Amino acid sequence: MARERVAAGFQLGFHAIGDKAVEMALDAFAEAEKAAHASGAKAPDGTENFRLRVEHAQVTNPGQVERFRELNVIASMQPSHLLTDMRWAETRLGPQRAAHSYAWAEFASHGVKLAFGTDYPVEPVTPFRGLYAAVTRKSEDGKQEYYAAQKLTIEQAIAAYTTGSAYAEFAETQKGTLAPGMLADFVVLDRDLTAIPPGQILGTRVLRTVVGGKTAYESN
């Protein structure tokens, strides 16, 4: 099915949480890309990069991360899941596999595109919880830490939520950055996320939301 759909020009995304599911998705993508190249199929932007993606990709191994890079597969991840799962993840995975779970830094260092989201309504809709998780790898009370080597910088995390997600939907010429000619979609916050201690990210408030250049929300 993956071969047929990619050859027909569709962009695919597989939901895969565990490393077995991730392996199945990568195998399907590898075969699909071969079929697409053989048929001369093109992606929506006219290239041969279909921007195939794995949703969640929470448990991976180093070999799989390398395959993401080789196949140009996007890791579409939701950092908030770590805050929910860190209480029990290591006991189920074991330390060797857990060290490569929620592996945001590992993906980034290999040049794999990260596209972050919230996975609402499974997790709370606020992106600040995910930003906090991405840069701290700590529980919301700050008492538990989960494999700190996989932390991102705040700049990397914001980029994954903005430019990374826009790229994942072939919309990087319209969304993801504040620049002339782009959609005027943005928020005004009560603090500078790049200048505050990471622990303060969770308390961030939105003062104003602008969609398409028009104010859609303004706090009292």
Residues 4-20: tens digit of each pLDDT: 999 988 999 999 999 99
pTM of the model: 0.95
Q: How do residues 179-211 score in pLDDT, each as one tens digit?
A: 999 999 999 999 999 999 999 999 999 999 999
What are the residues whose beta carbons fall under 8 Å from the beta carbon of 108, sequence distance 6 or more? 114, 152, 156
**Domain locations in the chain as residue ranges:** 2-175
Cα 33 to Cα 2: distance, rounded to the nearest angstrom? 9
For residue 213, the model assigns a pLDDT of 95
**Cα torsion 56, 125, 146, 109: sign:** positive
Contact 83, 133 (CB under 8 A): yes
Reading the block at residue 82, the tokens are 């770590």
- CATH of the domain spanning 2-175: 3.20.20.140
